[in-house]
Structure 1
Amino acid sequence: MNILDNLKYRFKNAGIIEKLIYVNLAVFLLVFITNTFGFLFQSSNNLLIEWFALPANFDEFLSKPWTIITYGFLHTGFLHILLNLVALFYIGHLFKQYFTSKQLLNFYILGTLFGGVIFIASYSFFPALQRVADNSVLLGASAGISAIFIGIATYIPTYELKFPLIGFVKLWIVACIWIAIDIIQIPAGNAGGHLAHIGGALFGFLYVASASNKELEIFKPFKKFFEKKEKPLKTVYKSGKKPTKKTTPKETFNKSKNQQEIDKILDKIGKSGYDTLTKNEKDFLFKQGK
């Protein structure tokens, strides 16, 4: 198996998070290859950036409407893509513990779309940005990642993450810090980019919040993309009667007690994560799973 076949095999069998990482990395390499050819032919424009980055000018966007999505897969700096993909890897796997692969992909795509809408609207509305709209473009996966992170933080706000030297911190606090960093950096530079991140985060929050709030029905058309599809139960017909085993009151009591303990441990995992379990709790859960 050559390198190309190996890459195809890995991509085909990878999960949705790994596939998004592979696509972003592939596009990142293409950007640098295009830069090389641009240098050799003395061209100052990168064709990939020119055609797939989201322009801030609304009239220019109308001529390239696909950029409202494609910008979410473009990166030009090593540190930029490194931070984004590391965040996508860890946040994505936390998201996947509670949602499906399809839901993660839709959060990424729709978060990118909403971030792009906020980006263009900002350059049309705010005077500080209007004067540089013709020379500004948006690229990067941050808006889509923000949608995923704020979405899962809204769904399990009391879940705790463990940080070195700090300890356990609730997810809603980390989410607030995540958004605050973008807000305070708006005057420092890349204002449109930070506003796009906030746009993606806003989508993640409003969509998850709307699931339990009837007043937020603006996302109702999108809900069909996020609903979990469950396979219908199969009906099995058997001939004859199978003798049933009578359960003694003591066995019933033991099963009920064990189930209560399992429910208690699972609730603790849901709130604080598996790593917070004691050794006895882990051993008990392992024995019950046999």
Structure 2
Amino acid sequence: MGLYDRGYYQNEQDLDLRPGWNQQSAVSQLIILNVIVFVVNLLFGGVTTAYQGSVNEALALQSDTLWKPWAWYKAITYAFAHSSREISHIFFNMLSLYFLGRTVEMRYGRKEFLKIYLLAALFCGVLCMVIRGLRPESATVLGASGAVLCISMLFVYNFPNATVYFFIFPMPAWVLGVIFVLTNFLSNPGTGIAVDVHLFGILFATLYFFLGWNFSKLQDPMEGVQSVQKWWKRRKLKIHVQDDPTLSDDELEAKEADRILEKIHASGKDSLTGKEKKFLEKYSQNVRSKKRMGS
């Protein structure tokens, strides 16, 4: 009997929440990104004793990162680097993200899920950077475990009675959550596992769920890129009259065309600059093209 014949997990409402591969989902894209970084480090990172490759060296948190402001970006990039010494590090992180993260993404939506994941990674990274920076011993931190554990605990909190399989053993999701917490609390810090990062991830999920956090007001990164593109396009128009941010790009272009035509009426065509002539010519072509399409 296959994995999906028995069901990897089922929630208490008997909904079919089994994950599937969707290249457009945040889970799939995060997995792809982590695997790409892992492979690039293996192929081109070379061998360094401390950081297991130059790519990991550029991304991982070190104990002295706190005292190097130019390296504070590592408080987020560490979560996309994984140990090159053992494939199990990235394998189990991505496996957990795949099986539990897809349902969490469906629960919160793609944008909110991505914000949760990235902010959890940043939360873990900043706390780890501060704590490790105040310790005398040398340490390197890398891996998505903190963010993945945050997502896993959100699954537990949202679907506590869902049946999950821990290896081959079925159990309610809340039992798996207890296992997550106890194994990290009772782990020996000397094993080389960043237990504190794991606990920070669990803490972030707990705060998010029980305090009712919502990051919908935070701007989506892609929306930010689109805003910059729109600003640049408007800047190139060089509109001399008062700009109305509620106007569409077409309305702004029409407004600029009216201004240029008024300038021609007042001072003649020879008064136009080269850019104004080029804009008016392009605008006229666009108008004629739209009329042909509409006819």
TM category, shorter: 0.5 to 0.7
- What amino acid does structure 2 have at the position aligned with 1:115? C
2:132 paired residue number: 123
1:71 maps to 2:81: no
TM-fit CA distance, 1:101: 1.2
In the other structure, the counterpart of 2:159 is 156
Unaligned stretches of 5+ residues in structure 2: 1-20, 221-295
Q: Distance in 1 between matches of 2:144 and 2:70?
A: 22
Offset at residue 224 of structure 1 (A): 2.4
Contact 1:111 1:201 survives alignment (8 Å): no
Work out the CA distance in 1 between the residues paired with 2:122 and 2:152.
16
Q: Normalising by structure 2, report the TM-score.
A: 0.59
* In 2, Cα distance between equivalents of 1:180 and 1:156: 19
Structure label with greater radius of gyration? 2
- The partner residue of 1:95 within 92, 95, 104 is 104
TM-score, normalised relative to structure 1 = 0.60
Evaluate the alpha carbon distance shift between residue 164 and residue 121 of structure 1 in structure 2; reply closer, same or farther with a 3 A threshold.
Answer: closer
State the 1:16 CA deviation. 1.4
Query: What letter is aligned with 1:62?
Result: P
1:139 is aligned with what amino acid?
L
How far is the alpha carbon of 1:49 from its aligned partner? 2.2
Pick closer, same or farther for the CA change 1:204–1:225 going to 2, 3 Å. Answer: farther
- Correspondence for 2:180: 178
1:47 lines up with 2:47 in the alignment: no
User: What are the Cα deviations for residues 168-199 of structure 1, in whole angstroms up to 9, with x where unaligned?
Assistant: x22222111112112222334225x1101110
The one-letter code of the counterpart of 1:23 is: L
Q: Deviations over 1:84-115 (max 9, x none)?
A: 11111001122133221112211211111111
Match of 1:62 in 2: 69
Residue correspondence of structure 1 range 235-250 to structure 2 within 5 A: none
Cross-structure match for 1:279? none
Identity across aligned pairs (percent)?
Answer: 22
Check conservation: 1:61, 1:67, Cα contact below 8 A: no
Q: 1:104 to 1:57 in 2, by over 3 A?
A: same
Contact 2:146 2:199 in 1 (8 A): yes
RMSD: 3.0
Query: What's the counterpart of residue 263 of structure 1?
Result: none
Q: State the Cα deviation string for residues 225-271 of structure 1 (Å, max 9, x = none).
A: 499xxxxxxxxxxxxxxxxxxxxxxxxxxxxxxxxxxxxxxxxxxxx
Partner of 2:208: 207
Q: Which residue, 114, 119, 124 being the options, matches 1:110?
A: 119
User: CA offset at residue 161 of structure 1?
Assistant: 2.1
Encode CA deviations 1:105-132: one digit per residue, 9 max, x unaligned: 112111111111231233256xxxx221
Of 2, 27, 32, the residue aligned with 1:22 is: 32
What does residue 195 of structure 2 align with? 194
Deviation at 1:31, TM superposition (A): 0.8
Task: Please give the secondary structure, in 1, of the residue aligned with 2:217.
Answer: helix
Instruction: Kindly state the Cα deviation for residue 15 of structure 1 after the two structures are TM-superposed.
Output: 1.9
Q: Which residue type is aligned with residue 25 of structure 2?
A: G
Q: Is the contact made by 2:101 and 2:155 (CA closer than 8 Å) also made in structure 1? A: no
Q: CA 1:34/1:103 → structure 2, altered by over 3 Å: closer, same or farther?
A: same
In 2 relative to 1, CA 84–165 (structure 1 residues): closer, same or farther, beyond 3 Å? closer
Structure 1 residues without counterparts, runs of 5 or longer: 1-10, 212-218, 228-290
